[in-house]
Amino acid sequence: MLFKILVILHTLGATVWTGGHLVLAATVLPQALKHRDPDRIHQFESHFENFGLAALLLQVITGLGLTWIYFPGLETFWAFDSFLSTYIGIKLLLLLGTLALAIHARFFIIPNLTSETLNSLAFHIVGVTTLAVLFVIMGAGIRLGGLT
Ligand code: HEM
């Protein structure tokens, strides 16, 4: 039962994190670039930031919970002798990449956002969104017993 609840919460969090970034990258960002108007991104961020971060935190907690159920005590996880630990390992790398991009954007780019620095924020948004989609692909791969 706990496993089923974790999968449902994990899937729900994925809709928010990945869906939110797809909306940002595919609808808000092109408009902001077209009008060279960083405020459009600020406006989206002001609504999405806390909700999105809560969703990411939920992903990490439920993801680690699911991992713990598959690999109790993580004893056999580090052997990386199954597709499951490889896929989860890739998800952890995606998480590191996401955190690096998000921290860089939040503390170094967004505070000084102007129409000139908009392009570097655009690269970050496209990067985080790509990683978010890869999270879903790897997650679905786990459910499908591998993607190949
Ligand atoms: C934003 C981050 C993440 C997203 C968008 C995401 C997305 C997904 C999706 C869509 C699934 C398929 C659910 C299903 O149909 O069963 C999944 C499964 C899974 N994810 Fe994630 N995930 C994220 C982060 C993580 C993290 C950080 C971990 C663990 C370290 C993790 C571990 C797992 C595991 C173990 C499954 C398999 C559950 C099952 O048996 O179906 N995920 N993920």
Report whether residue 58 contacts ligand 1, using a CB cutoff of 6 Å. no
Q: What is the pLDDT of residues 69-112, one digit of tens each?
A: 999 999 899 888 899 999 999 999 999 999 999 999 989 998 88
For the chain, give every domain's residue range: 2-143
pLDDT of residue 97: 98
Tell me which of 62, 142, 144, 147 to substitute to probe ligand 1's pocket, judged by most ligand atoms within 8 Å of the beta carbon: 142
The pTM score is: 0.93
Percentages helix, strand, coil for the chain, rounded to the nearest 5? Answer: 85, 0, 15
Burial class (CB in 10 A: 0-12, 13-18, 19+), 72: exposed
